[in-house]
Chain A
Amino acid sequence: MTSMSFDELLPLIFIGLMGVSLLVYVVSDGYDLGVGMLMHRATPEERDTMVASIGPFWDANETWLVLGVGLLLVAFPKAHGLVLSELYLPTTLMLVGLILRGAAFDFRVKARASRKAMWDRLFIAGSMLASVCQGWMLGRYISGFGEGWNFPIFAGAIALALPMAYALLGATWLVMKTDGPLQDKAIEWSKIAWPPMVLGLILISTATPWISETVRERWFTLPAIIAVASIPITTGIALLTVRLLLNSPAVRDALCWLPFALLVLVFLLSFLGLSYSIYPFVVIDRLTVWEAASSPDSLKVILIGVCVTLPVIVAYTGFSYRVFRGKTIELDYA
């Protein structure tokens, strides 16, 4: 890998972009899916506040999914075909979940009051369905779509762990964005979701090397192991800090943002670890980025667009978060 021409570099840039979009998606839609799932434990008034806390953002959050899948489709059409036909049914169910929750989100306050509870249930169910399906898809994906008794169990475990991670992310989001009794509840929810999330993370990190020889070699050869060990160590410290913070009084005011921020860091690190495992494959042990990439010419055209628009997108996303900063107040169209 001494000197790589720009054309050879392009697929790498694009896998990076796609990964970043999916990471932003997982973190941002993760907290709002998490909030959606937690609503089954909230009172009707609390539900309004919870929805209000994600109301201005969910649409933009989902757009990262459209970008991620769009880049997969556009830059790696062969991988897209392979991945999405392997995951055809869970993808459909995830979409149904996203449809239901996106629709219920708006219907719940606009339909007649007697139907609100029904739309809330659909909102919760849609959030759960989408999260579970995403967990299953992640599990199938990182195990390289392998066959055999252990693979479905692995995917099933991730299908439960990812929603827990989302719930934890959502709960810490609420710790940051709310106060009073709802904040207390959110702290409780965070404590409940913490162990399964940690367990899931341990499971993924130990199972991936076990399943794929490529991954095992990458992690457990000598010089590398010292460098990459920093990832699990930092992750562990961040997770422990989150747990400690949840017991401290500071999390109710000055440090209310910290657990959420640390979890974002955890997601980022896990993403880095996963990327390190998989590189240079798009589909583990089957397709490398270069085999799957489309022509450099069209990738360049897209890259220009990305370079121009991405900073602008980041800027106005930041603007929107600034406008709605602070504790959540009631949402209205006023």
Chain B
Amino acid sequence: MFMDAVFLARIQFAANITFHILFPSISIALGWALLFFRMKHLRAKDAQQKLDWLRAYRLWTKVFALTFALGVVSGVTMSFQFGTNWPGYMERVGNIAGPLLSYEVLTAFFLEAGFLGVMLFGHRRVGEMVHLGATFLVAFGTLMSAFWILALNSWMQTPAGYGIVDGQFHARSWLEIIFNPSFPYRLVHMVLASALTCAFLLIGISAWQLLKGVATTSASRVLRTGLVFAALVAPAQMVAGDFHGLNTLKHQPQKIAAMEGIWETTRGAPLLLFAIPDDAARTNRFELAVPKLASLILRHDTEGELKGLNEFPSAHPPVFAVFWCFRIMVGMGVLMLLVSWFGLWRHWRDGWDFAKMPRPVLWLFAGMTFAGWVATIAGWYVTEIGRQPFIVAGLIRTSDVASRVPSSSIALTLAIYVVVYLALLLAYVGVLKYMSETADKKLNAITTVSPSAGQQYQGRGEFA
């Protein structure tokens, strides 16, 4: 109860955004996946294929609807929290943050929300093309919303295009503000993160259906799609991450020092595989290192120099969390690459037949269902905690803009949010499991397929 208000406000904001990002990280990519399923369904020549893709579309539309709803309600909360938790922030950088946030609402949220109804429930009421158009606009809206919010977030990491008059920020160039130095990297990295998160969700849930013996040929198609997606995106994400890191080194060297656990400026810095950074003693314990590798990766030169944390007295982030979250993210990235490549190779060797896939491999897939969440959250923690103690890197300290709401109120509301969020998260995972296990019983009711294919037919259980 005696924690200070700044600390509580941080925890509350972090708890909310952590809960929120779980859902966008799925819905940003899943909208496009739905569009893909729908196109496959429309294009498919033989009846079985057509039905498979239709089933995939139906099941994943439900997942999308649920995910989207949770994204919306947690997002509405975020929009209040911005002002309640960091009132000083808006007072000082409102001139820059305000327009970015407004454009997000005007160009993204309304677009998603306006067409969501038609996308989810409009099939019987509009033509196929209009429906595809609505689906496209919803998917596009989620991308736009990532665009604007990441523009703001990146601006907070690498501010540009502003001027300061009497402590107030004013916009000088909107192009420089939006396309600030870290924005392109962050946008690409986040969109790929979403693609991977979604791919592993497709893989994991379809594998679960196979394991439970409730799968149809539809699940196999989805699983294959997920594996191919993941196998393509995982390496791309590594490359994007590498570029992102180089960019960070240029603009936020103290963050890189924390990520790599480098205290003293070093030439030929080693890559630490394991260590326990000790903020108090300003050193690492139990180091396990690959010599010179960090310099090689970040400077492309084994003798390259990396700045250490000691060069940034009282202006560098807490090291332990940044260091470990970075390892969790990269570790998950490597694991996702290995799993998707291995899975695809195995599947090819099995003659593209999942019936021959060994069960332990299916269990591995199922175990990776939420791998993307872990990596995404770890990545955001690196970025956000790595920016501390500043809220706008190098310019405004977080503690200067915190709320004046009494800490007891913050503690109370924090407790309420945490309870609600944990319950909803459990329910979400539980319902995904339930929906995947019963998908086909429910889908027995599916009957007509869109007339644009030139034929209508019954799709009862016999196709399963």
Contacts and interface: CB of A to CB of B under 8 A. Distances in A.
A81 B106 CA distance: 23
Interface in A273-315: 294-295, 297-298, 301-302, 305-306, 309-310, 313
Q: Name the residue in B80, B111, B404, B446 with the highest tally of chain A Cβ atoms < 10 Å from its Cβ.
A: B80
A62 B76 CA distance: 8
Given A55-B121, A95-B80, A73 B90 contact: yes
Interface string A68-91: 011111110110110011001101
Q: Name the residue in A65, A75, A91 with the highest tally of chain B Cβ atoms < 10 Å from its Cβ.
A: A91
The secondary-structure label for the interface of chain A is helix
A42 to B, nearest CB: 20
A107 B420 CA distance: 14
B273 interface: no
A206 interface: no
A228 to B, nearest CB: 33
Contact of B125 (A78, A81, A100, A323): A323
Contact of B118 (A69, A96, A107, A320): A320
A81 B118 contact: no
A317 interface: yes
A98 B96 CA distance: 29
Interface string B122-153: 11111000000000000000000000000000
A332 B121 CA distance: 6
B32 interface: no
Interface in B422-452: 424, 427, 430-431, 434-435, 446
A84 B83 contact: yes
Interface residues of B, number: 71
B123 to A, nearest CB: 5
Given A71-B102, A96-B416, A298-B171, A320 B73 contact: no
A151 interface: no
Given A56-B122, A297-B171, A333-B123, A81 B70 contact: no
Contacts of A73: 79, 82-83, 90, 94, 98, 101
B118 A106 contact: no
B117 interface: yes
Contacts of A75: 98
B416 A81 contact: no
A56 B117 contact: yes
Q: Name the residue in B102, B122, B427 with the highest tally of chain A Cβ atoms < 10 Å from its Cβ.
A: B102
Contacts of A62: 72, 76, 113
Interface of B: 58, 61-62, 65-66, 68-70, 72-77, 79-80, 82-84, 87, 90-91, 94-99, 101-103, 105-107, 109-118, 120-126, 168, 170-171, 174, 403-405, 409, 412-413, 416-417, 420, 424, 427, 430-431, 434-435, 446
22 contacts: A59-B69, A59-B112, A59-B113, A66-B79, A70-B102, A73-B79, A74-B90, A74-B97, A84-B84, A89-B409, A89-B413, A99-B73, A103-B424, A107-B431, A298-B94, A298-B171, A305-B103, A306-B102, A313-B110, A320-B118, A324-B121, A334-B124
List of 6 A-B pairs having minimum Cβ-Cβ separation, nearest first: A56-B117, A74-B98, A102-B73, A298-B95, A81-B87, A60-B113
Interface of A: 55-57, 59-60, 62-63, 65-67, 69-75, 77-78, 80-81, 84-85, 88-89, 91-92, 95-96, 98-100, 102-103, 105-107, 110-112, 294-295, 297-298, 301-302, 305-306, 309-310, 313, 316-317, 319-320, 323-324, 331-334
